[in-house]
Structure 1
Amino acid sequence: MTIKKKLGMGVVTAALGLALVGGGTYAYFNDTEASTNTFAAGTLDLTLDPQVIFDVDNLKPGDYMLRTFELQNTGSLDIASVLLDTSYSVTDVDNNNGSEDLGEHYVVKFLKNEGHPEHIFDDDKYTVVYQKTLAELSAMTPDDLAVEMEDFIIWDYEQDGIPAGEADNLSVKIEFVDNGQDQNIFQGDSLELNWTFTAEQEAGEEK
């Protein structure tokens, strides 16, 4: 190794030594604080009571069923809105319905209670605020239905939604409509109605 290279290596080594020494020279005091942070998501939990709202047989045109059921918010987050999705299937025992849809002969009427809860089904205590046939409801998206119903008050709460830990009631009347015409093709037939209730959270906010 030449003298120049040796001198060069010596300068680098000396500089590195100074840097290491200098690094500890000025750190007389030192203090460290650790921050442990937690982000826990809340729960959105909608419970239906009872889960089976209608279980009726031996129906004839003109019969109707009045039911009230509870939508419970059993989660930790407030529910801003509840969407309803409708679907159904028909069992045609005689296979003679042709193009006739039994769902067009059932009308769902959403009720607004104007008295105490125990009087919900008294004729002078409730008002039909919105109605559609099952066929019409099944053809609508939950969002479309919500838009149509936003001008109607069907909940007990004055504000929208269901606060965490609380519940709200929904009352409905379903009628097997007597249209005054021959409906004999529906004798013995059955209809299975599926309602799916979807709870939506409130908008995000500063925490």
Structure 2
Amino acid sequence: MSLKKKLGLGVASAALGLSLIGGGTFAYFSDTEVTNNTFAAGTLDLSVNPTTIVDVSNLKPGDVVVREFNLVNGGSLDISKIDLKTVTSVDDANNDNTDNFAKHIKVLFLENGDKTGWNFIEGWDYNDVISETTLYDLQAMTPDAVENLNSFWTKWLGIEGEESGLGAGDSDQMYVAFEFVDNNQDQNQFQGDTLNLEWTFTAHQTEGELK
């Protein structure tokens, strides 16, 4: 085969190869956009003001202690409920207790003033989260401190106070009264004793929703 023919076959083969390679491609327009997305979680931030609700000394049977405090939602999310957990302990000064001091301290009421409503027939309908129970018995309960307890009729007849829960940036004013119950019996075993009360308020979020 002559050199000319060999060169011609080589060029033809190269052209065929290029056509096979380029045969599967085509030209097209394109446009690309990039989105930047974030998922930022909200915050639950419950505080109690003041942090010490009761600090009283020299109690005697028959004494009543009344205090007020605020539950504050400083977070960005609404709170659906606030559970109240009670824990007590007693420092027995003379090691002579035969009864529990917490059974002799009664919570007369824990009222949520912001949830209190007005009944046009009976007047104020107080929203007592806790009513007439001892600190000892309260340890077995977990009341919701921001629940609106007003009845249907109170809501129908008048102003029922704020809805249950605690909105972001909002606060509820609470009133509480404790009584050292005088049972008309010998309570000398409690002289010099100290009752320690720990109240833990636990906030819960509202239900998830479509965003």
Q: TM-score range by the shorter chain?
A: 0.7 to 0.9
Q: Which amino acid aligns with 1:134?
A: L
Equivalence for 1:90: 90
Structure 1 distance, partners of 2:112, 2:46, is 22
Corresponding residue to 1:186 among 178, 183, 190: 190
Q: Does the CA contact (< 8 Å) of 2:79 and 2:165 recur in 1?
A: yes
Corresponding residue to 1:152 among 122, 143, 149: 149
Structure 1 residue runs of 5 or longer lacking an equivalent are 1-13, 118-123
1:173 pairs with 2:173: no
Q: Does the CA contact (< 8 Å) of 1:112 and 1:126 recur in 2?
A: no
Structure 2 distance, partners of 1:180, 1:67, is 26
Equivalence for 1:4: none
Structure 2 distance, partners of 1:128, 1:59, is 28
Equivalence for 1:131: 132
Q: Does the CA contact (< 8 Å) of 1:49 and 1:70 recur in 2?
A: yes
Q: Does the CA contact (< 8 Å) of 1:42 and 1:77 recur in 2?
A: yes
1:57–1:87: structure 2 CA closer, same or farther, 3 Å change rule?
same
Structure 2 distance, partners of 1:33, 1:169, is 52
- Superposed CA deviations along residues 98-147 of structure 1, whole A, max 9, x for unmatched, are 2x000000011224488xx9xxxxxx98958422111101123x2xx349
Structure 2 length-normalised TM = 0.74
Q: Does the CA contact (< 8 Å) of 2:112 and 2:174 recur in 1?
A: no
Structure 2 residue runs of 5 or longer lacking an equivalent are 1-15, 117-122, 151-159
Q: Does the CA contact (< 8 Å) of 1:109 and 1:172 recur in 2?
A: yes
Structure 2 distance, partners of 1:77, 1:181, is 50
1:63–1:27: structure 2 CA closer, same or farther, 3 Å change rule?
farther
- Superposed CA deviations along residues 176-204 of structure 1, whole A, max 9, x for unmatched, are 10011110110010101000001111111
Structure (1 or 2) with the larger CA radius of gyration: 2
- Superposed CA deviations along residues 57-101 of structure 1, whole A, max 9, x for unmatched, are 000000010011000110011111111000011011111112x00
Equivalence for 2:100: 101
Q: Secondary structure in 1 aligned to 2:102?
A: helix
1:197 pairs with 2:194: no
Structure 1 distance, partners of 2:29, 2:105, is 81
Structure 1 distance, partners of 2:189, 2:180, is 14
- Superposed CA deviations along residues 16-45 of structure 1, whole A, max 9, x for unmatched, are x84x6355x324211112122100000000
1:29–1:182: structure 2 CA closer, same or farther, 3 Å change rule?
same
Q: Secondary structure in 1 aligned to 2:178?
A: strand
Equivalence for 2:50: 50
Q: Which amino acid aligns with 1:183?
A: Q
